[in-house]
Amino acid sequence: MIEIIDTEISEVKIISPKVFGDSRGYFFESYNKKDFETAGLHHDFIQDNQSFSHYGTLRGLHYQKGEFAQAKLVRVVVGKILDVAVDIRKNSPSFGQHVAVELSEDNKLQLLLPRGFAHGFSVLSETAIVQYKCDNVYNKESEGGILYNDPKLAIQWQIPEDKIILSDKDKANPPLSEAKL
């Protein structure tokens, strides 16, 4: 049983699972294909990924293009992140707009990004373990990136600039206007 929460970009959804808690702890289904399909969300997830990161780590903004584009269902197992989806569909009325949502082990929210979106997150807690499902395989030749601090995107990552930890690859990403979509 899930609750679907709409965002500013209609195709991006926040998923709130039904959590059953008692004196022992809690239980919830992090994914149930039937529940998603009943809610009109049809994705055939084929791969699960997990990352571990320290405070200040910013991963993104990443995307797969063409036949290797990926829908993702993102959640946090430990810690707290700011999860961001940027619409990179050239003919979309929301092209260049983004949705930013805090995901945490406490709120148990998940972010569903359809194909055609760049994805990134910043770690707001001491550490974070992030898991996400993908509906397509990774293909190195189809990967792309967008500069995390592109002024036209105006994403507020909730981390002071001097505390942000980036990979060399993410430092070299172009702004959206120069990205090879």
Q: Which two tokens stand for residue 49?
A: 């990924």
Name the residue with tokens 């993102």: 74
Q: Which of 43, 63, 119, 132 is catalytic?
A: 132
Residue 164 CA: distances (Å) to CA of 41, 60, 128? 34, 12, 15
Report the candidate in 132, 70, 78, 76 with the shortest Cα–Cα distance to residue 109: 76
| Upper half-sphere CA count for residue 49 (Cβ side, 13 Å) | 13
Report the candidate in 100, 90, 91 with the shortest Cα–Cα distance to residue 124: 100
Whether 62 is a known active-site residue: answer yes
Q: Which of 26, 62, 119, 138 is catalytic?
A: 62
Whether 55 is a known active-site residue: answer no
Backbone angles phi, psi at 178, to 5 degrees: -110, 0
Q: Which two tokens stand for residue 158?
A: 């909730």
The catalytic residues are 62, 132
